[in-house]
Amino acid sequence: MSVPAVISVAQYLDLVNDRLREVPSDVGVEGEVSDLRVSHGKWVGFDLKDAQGGGVLKCFMTVWQLSVPLEDGMRVRVTGGAKVSARFGKFQLDVRTVELVGEGALKRAYLALKRKMQDEGLFDGARKRPIPRFPERIGLITSREAAAYGDFLRVLGNRWGGVEVDFVPVHVQGGNAVPEILAAFEHFHHLGESERPDVLVLTRGGGGLEDLHAFNDESVARAVFSSRVPVVVGVGHERDESLCDFVADVRASTPSNAAERVAPSRDEVRYELDAMTRRVEEVLRANLDARRRIVEHAASSASALVSRQRERLTSELDAFGTATDRWIPNISERIEGALRVLRQVDPNRVLARGYSIVKSGKTLLRDASELVVGTDVSVQLSRGTFDANVLRINGTGKQRLV
Amino acid sequence: MAAKGKKMDFAKAFEELEAITRWFEQEGADLDEGLKRFERGLELARACKERLAEVEANVKEIKKKFEA
């Protein structure tokens, strides 16, 4: 290609950039991030520096290209195309990929992402949903090879049976892990209600931070967060934590623990069933007993009433008996008394003792002075009567009473 | 989580049994009603226990396009 002797600035830069395209773009350049800045929420710029020796490379990219959180001081490996910007006349690297290098950088990136999601409220306890107590269908997302798969199913079977496990085999590490896990969530998310599991389980065995990258991936964590079905996440061992753990509705420590969290224990449920039937029976029995007691009480108080009445009747009769018993002698006594009195005043008794009753006509004679010589009188003796004539009157005498 | 066209809805049966137990705890005075509920409770408990006897989980692998 022949080049004219004189050209414009833009034409010259095009020429330079043509040559720069010959620099291989797949080579990874490793260095430390400094002077990081984001403009208009769109453009990311930073300097990539060697820790020693002072080499500086100006780097540019869009925020959408950036898949990891960057901070000054992080060690990263970038790839991209070298060029001189026509606008600023500066040499720069158009960054295509940024990858964090070393535990330290990963840790910092992890913490930065965790803070961001926490600030967004993705870890809030209030949005965590309860999982049904007796799930009928469980969606299981894990690797077929992992011990996690076997552990989960073994513990599940020990606790509870008859559930349907919809198993989606995925890689839990390596380059395919993130897209596969996302596809699994997508699958469950779009199932109709009749096919949707009651709970999802995302699980794997333990590992270092690098190993857990799929569980610390922002898009996976967001998929867990926005899942229509409640999610149990169980990663490795107690000491491990991942972003998925924090966004999960239920956090389990291990795959076995995940099984314990989703399925109730057969023994506990059996015990509970027994306790409930026992309780129901107890209450019913107590109720029946109470009623029986009421009936018995009513019967016994009725019979008490009857016997009390009978007692009263007998005592009444007794009283009547004794009253009448006394009444008759009383009466006969009174009659006797009356008779005695009568007997005392009976004039016949006086006559029987030798006295006589003398009458003139109808008049009873008590005083001799009332008599006239020659008058006829009648004399009544104790037995029989006779008439007499007054011959003489011998004096009047005086009445003397004792 | 309701009817899925399955043999028996364990959760529903269990809840009904819980409700019956609660009824006995709180009311339970009506003897006829109590006997009726008692029988229903026993029936539910028996059905739940039968369900407990199932041991295996039925694993259905969903292949689709997931594995690379």
Structure-model confidence comparison of residues B4 and A361, the more confident one: A361
Query: What is the structure's pLDDT at B5?
Result: 45
Question: A78 and A58 share a domain?
Answer: yes
Query: Cα(A401)–Cα(A54) distance, rounded to whole angstroms?
Result: 178
A85 and A9 in contact (C-beta within 8 Å)? no
Tell me the nearest-neighbour CA distance from B55 into chain A, angstroms: 4
Tell me the nearest-neighbour CA distance from A183 into chain B, angstroms: 7
Residue A172, pLDDT > 60, answer: yes
Question: A90 and A189 share a domain?
Answer: no
- Averaged pLDDT for residues A216-243: 87
Q: Specify the CATH number for the domain of residue A75.
A: 2.40.50.140
Residue A311 lies in a domain: no
Question: A259 and A160 share a domain?
Answer: yes
Structure-model confidence comparison of residues A80 and A239, the more confident one: A80
C-alpha dihedral over B20, B25, B30, B36, to 10 degrees? 20
- Cβ-count burial of A341 within 10 angstroms (0-12 exposed, 13-18 middle, 19+ buried)? exposed
Question: A271 and A381 share a domain?
Answer: no
Q: Kindly report the average pLDDT of chain A as a whole number.
A: 87
Domain tally for chain A?
4
- Averaged pLDDT for residues A217-246: 87
- A chain contacts of residue B57, beta-carbon cutoff 8 Å: 138, 153, 156-157, 160-165
Q: What is the pLDDT of residues A289-316, one digit of tens each?
A: 888 898 899 888 888 888 888 899 889 8
Question: Residue A289: which domain range?
Answer: 265-296
Query: What is the structure's pLDDT at A186?
Result: 94
Q: Give the domain ranges of chain B.
A: 10-52
Question: A63 and A149 share a domain?
Answer: no
Query: Cα(A379)–Cα(A235) distance, rounded to whole angstroms?
Result: 155
Q: Which of A136, A194, A276 is the closest to B21 by Cβ? A: A276
In terms of CA atoms, which chain A residue is nearest residue B5? A194
Q: Is the Cβ pair B37, A280 closer than 8 Å?
A: yes
Supply B18's token pair.
């819980």
In terms of CA atoms, which chain A residue is nearest residue B61? A167
Query: Cα(A318)–Cα(A293) distance, rounded to whole angstroms?
Result: 37
- B chain contacts of residue A166, beta-carbon cutoff 8 Å: 60, 62
Residue A28 lies in a domain: yes
- B chain contacts of residue A161, beta-carbon cutoff 8 Å: 52-57
Question: A143 and A271 share a domain?
Answer: no
Question: A229 and A270 share a domain?
Answer: no
Question: A198 and A279 share a domain?
Answer: no
- A chain contacts of residue B42, beta-carbon cutoff 8 Å: 277
Domain boundary among A63, A85, A100: A100
Tell me the nearest-neighbour CA distance from B5 into chain A, angstroms: 9
Q: What is the pLDDT of residues A357-379, one digit of tens each?
A: 888 888 888 888 888 888 899 99
Task: Supply the ipTM of this predicted assembly.
Answer: 0.74
Question: A53 and A159 share a domain?
Answer: no
Question: A134 and A81 share a domain?
Answer: no
Q: Whole-model pTM? A: 0.60
- B chain contacts of residue A176, beta-carbon cutoff 8 Å: 68
- Averaged pLDDT for residues A257-285: 91
Question: A270 and A362 share a domain?
Answer: no
